[in-house]
Structure 1
Amino acid sequence: MIAYVGDFGLARFLSDVPQTSLVGVKGSTGYIALEYAMGAKASTQGDVYSYGILLLEMIPGKGPTDDMFKDNLSLRHFAKLSLPKRVMDIVDPVLLEEAKVSQGSGNHTNTRKRMHACLISMVRIGVLCSANSPRDRMEMKDVVTEMHAIKDLYLGVRIHQDEQVMSQLSGEDPSYLSYY
């Protein structure tokens, strides 16, 4: 659970730098937006891409350059294939164990449902943020709003809305999948 990334905010520093090659763009392999390889100028959408990859990395505990990601399988594609029914199959067991410890005693069935819904939503956000095309990526303001909602759901802040939200996020209402 240690992030090795320092790409966020590149657009702010590099937006006025003429970009004719990747020499001006610095970042961690696997976290750099794909359009930079084609000479695109640094942008906030590139930062969104990096954030999406970081978010996806946290779920399975595997980075974008992990040995398992080869032969046209990327971290993004791996995560996207898990949506929505197989998300729990890709979650790092350490993450699940830490969640059990932090939740303590209580209604384990409801807690597990909330955790499942939150993980689905987080993977969905990571997939949307790391879309190949910058115009298909989420806006960061929407990411922040959704991440706060996920936190509230996980902590049980909005209990009266939990059942409806969990139904939508768990795949019983697949309308949210139309985003990608």
Structure 2
Amino acid sequence: MLLLAATVSQLAVATFVPGIDRFAGKAFGARLAAYPLMMLAVPAAWWLRQRATRRHAPAPWGAFALIMVPFLVDVTGNTLDLYDSVVWWDDLNHFVNWIPLSAGVGLLLTGGLTRRWQVVLLTAGIGALLAICWELGEWYTFIRHGTELNTAYEDTLGDEALGTTGGLVAGLLVAFGRRLPDSAP
């Protein structure tokens, strides 16, 4: 809950405190609505599945935290003005943030898989899909009618490639960090 609170409090400042230039034109009102929902979607889905199947497994808090961390990092990067003051910050985030995001989802979805290649491909594929969805969201919220339209195509392709690569790294970390049977290469 600390990750959620830290993210929401920064989003609230960005949305409701006037005159802070680093937040101007970056869709913080939309982020204030969307980020908490995205951060809570997986825990809510897990809880609903537990309830529907009448299971009482302990919550995978580590996986939930991995999924939430990138949202906090993104907002903190804006709060510290890193997107505008550090040229490579956006690219770094599209790679690095996809590692915990994809790893968290991978940990939740690959528990029944017995082959490392299956874990890598599923986790990397999820990372790639999330990178595409993220870029569609960026386009819809602040590129299509904004000042970045002329460079958006190149940036979008680069961001998708970096997110996909982060998803692949996450897949490798999940696959090789998990104990799989010796017969499962």
Higher helix share: 2
Give the alignment's TM-score, normalised by structure 2: 0.36
